């Protein structure tokens, strides 16, 4: 389904599947007299919650992204994310804000599979991008969110698009439900930036733990305290190190699993997760969980990982058929830990 959001009458469509029904229902909710809409959190760091968000603040967020990317009336956006969550809802709001043409594609791991024409703007998860590499050239602006973009995926993107005249720009996002999607972008193609660049009107700082604090009055009146460990460069750039609640304490040493996962993913393409499992001697024992079949080839590649410290090397490696994820594609560490323990 393609909806021209510059024409109000164009939203009076008959849906052909459940996802189109949800999108049209959200547009109807948006056009109602209520000042807020309901949004569900992903549940990747706790129990999923539903809360109300002011439409005016969602419009502010939409304008920040559209201004940054230079989107204009009549451009075409592609929605392929669940509309229950802020990521999907904000794609619709951005389209309403800029009067874009919105192409609605049911969320899947390969949403660009049947795409034939160019699209000006799309948002996807890393897993979706991984399965859509051959169609990426059809996008002009792509933002990737929901999980960290691995070094392996960045390399695959560059290899796929290199030596071409494709005009695509690809950005990794940083944000959360409370900031109404992202508050910062980091270009990963054609340039590879090291730091996230914060939007105008948003101030950042760090607390005593080194965790990011966000003040974005146009999006949320409160000073938002995150559990994300960061390195800040001035007041407009930062680098994400990992989540403080994911930190593993093994033998008195603090280990940031995300840092080690980025290192491992330079060597293998499999999804890889470091976990700390309770251990009487160490406090927590460091394990590496790998999605896929065990093989000698993988072990050889893993043996070449250059860990900074000896205690970064996992005490064990476990292969699983599938690593659990939340509905919007994030690795569900809590569920994975339960499965490993049991």
CATH classification of the domain holding 276:
3.30.300.30
Of 100, 107, 104, nearest to 124 (Cα)? 107
Q: Is residue 147 part of a domain?
A: yes
State the pLDDT confidence band at 203, using cuts at 50, 70 and 90: very high
| Structure tokens belonging to residue 197 | 């660049």
Q: Is residue 209 part of a domain?
A: no
**Chain-centre distance of CA 278, in angstroms?**
29
Of 207, 126, 213, 109, nearest to 173 (Cα)? 126
Answer yes or no: do 192 and 306 share one domain: no
Answer yes or no: do 194 and 251 share one domain: no
DSSP three-state, residue 88: helix
Q: Is residue 11 part of a domain?
A: yes
Answer yes or no: do 44 and 185 share one domain: yes
Q: Which of 37-41, 198-202, 218-222 has the lowest mean pLDDT?
A: 37-41
Q: Is residue 220 part of a domain?
A: no
Of 254, 249, 310, 260, nearest to 290 (Cα)? 260
The pLDDT tens digits of the residues spanning 238-295 come to 999 888 888 999 988 889 899 899 899 889 888 899 999 998 889 999 999 999 999 9
Mean pLDDT of 103-116: 94
State the pLDDT confidence band at 20, using cuts at 50, 70 and 90: very high
Nearest-10 crossing angle of helices 55-69, 86-98: 70
Answer yes or no: do 181 and 255 share one domain: no
Answer yes or no: do 165 and 252 share one domain: no
Cα–Cα distance, 144 to 322 (Å, whole number): 22
Residue 44 above 60 pLDDT?
A: no
Question: What integer pLDDT is reported at residue 28 of this predicted model?
Answer: 93
Task: Tell me how many degrees the CA angle 127-41-245 measures, rounded to the nearest 5.
Answer: 80
Q: Is residue 213 part of a domain?
A: no
Cα–Cα distance, 338 to 342 (Å, whole number): 6
Answer yes or no: do 305 and 176 share one domain: no
State the pLDDT confidence band at 49, using cuts at 50, 70 and 90: confident
Answer yes or no: do 184 and 258 share one domain: no
Report pTM: 0.79
Question: What integer pLDDT is reported at residue 46 of this predicted model?
Answer: 54
Number of domains in the chain: 2
Q: Is residue 262 part of a domain?
A: yes
| 243 close to 276: Cβ distance less than 8 angstroms | no
DSSP three-state, residue 243: strand
E-strand ranges in 33-168 read: 36-40, 50-54, 76-79, 101-104, 121-124, 141-144
Residue 51 above 90 pLDDT?
A: no
Answer yes or no: do 177 and 283 share one domain: no
Domain span including residue 298: 247-341
Mean pLDDT of 103-115: 94
Supply the DSSP symbol for 99.
T
| 123 close to 147: Cβ distance less than 8 angstroms | no
The pLDDT tens digits of the residues spanning 137-149 come to 999 999 999 888 8
The pLDDT tens digits of the residues spanning 295-329 come to 999 999 999 999 999 999 999 999 999 999 876 56
Q: Which residues does residue 72 pair with via DSSP β-bridges, in sequence order?
A: none
| 29 close to 42: Cβ distance less than 8 angstroms | no
State the pLDDT confidence band at 80, using cuts at 50, 70 and 90: very high
Question: What integer pLDDT is reported at residue 220 of this predicted model?
Answer: 87
- Could you say which of 168, 184, 201 is where a domain stops? 201
Answer yes or no: do 191 and 290 share one domain: no
State the average pLDDT for the chain: 90
Question: What integer pLDDT is reported at residue 155 of this predicted model?
Answer: 86
| 207 close to 200: Cβ distance less than 8 angstroms | no
- Could you say which of 147, 168, 201 is where a domain stops? 201
Answer yes or no: do 192 and 93 share one domain: yes
Residue 45 above 60 pLDDT?
A: no
| Structure tokens belonging to residue 305 | 């990982």
Cα–Cα separations (whole angstroms), residue 109 to 88, 113, 298: 15, 9, 24
Answer yes or no: do 148 and 274 share one domain: no
Q: Supply the CATH number for residue 144's domain.
A: 3.40.50.12780
| 284 close to 337: Cβ distance less than 8 angstroms | no
Answer yes or no: do 288 and 186 share one domain: no
Residue 21 above 70 pLDDT?
A: yes
């Amino acid at each position: 389904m393609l909806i021209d959001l510059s024409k109000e009458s164009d939203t009076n469509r008959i849906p052909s599947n459940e996802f189109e029904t949800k999108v049209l229902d959200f547009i109807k909710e948006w056009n109602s007299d209520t000042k807020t809409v309901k949004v569900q959190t992903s549940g990747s760091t706790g129990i999923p919650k539903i809360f109300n968000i002011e439409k005016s603040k969602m419009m502010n967020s939409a304008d920040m992204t559209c201004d940054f990317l230079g989107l204009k009336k009549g451009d075409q956006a592609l929605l392929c994310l669940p509309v229950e969550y802020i990521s999907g809802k904000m794609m619709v709001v951005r389209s309403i804000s800029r009067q874009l043409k919105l192409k609605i594609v049911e969320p899947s791991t390969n949403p660009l599979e049947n795409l034939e024409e160019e699209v000006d703007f799309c948002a996807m998860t890393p897993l979706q991008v991984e399965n859509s590499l051959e169609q990426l050239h059809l996008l002009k602006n792509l933002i990737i969110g929901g999980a960290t973009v691995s070094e392996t995926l960045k390399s695959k993107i560059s290899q796929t698009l290199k030596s071409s005249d494709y005009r695509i720009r690809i950005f990794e996002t940083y944000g959360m439900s409370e900031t109404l999607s992202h508050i910062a972008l980091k270009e990963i193609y054609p340039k590879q930036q090291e730091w996230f660049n914060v939007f105008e009107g948003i101030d950042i700082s760090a607390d005593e733990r080194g965790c990011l604090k966000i003040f974005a009055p146009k999006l949320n009146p409160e000073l938002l305290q995150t559990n994300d460990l960061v390195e800040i460069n001035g007041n407009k750039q930062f680098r994400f190190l990992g989540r403080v609640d994911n930190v593993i304490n093994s033998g008195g040493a603090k280990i940031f699993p995300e840092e080690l996962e980025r290192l491992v993913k330079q060597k293998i393409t499999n999804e890889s997760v470091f976990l700390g499992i309770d251990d009487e001697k160490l406090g927590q024992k460091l394990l590496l969980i790998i999605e896929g079949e065990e093989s000698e080839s993988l072990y050889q590649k893993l043996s070449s990982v250059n860990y900074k410290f000896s205690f970064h090397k996992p005490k064990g490696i476990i292969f699983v058929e599938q690593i659990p994820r939340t509905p919007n594609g994030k690795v569900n560490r809590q569920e994975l830990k339960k499965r490993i323990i049991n």
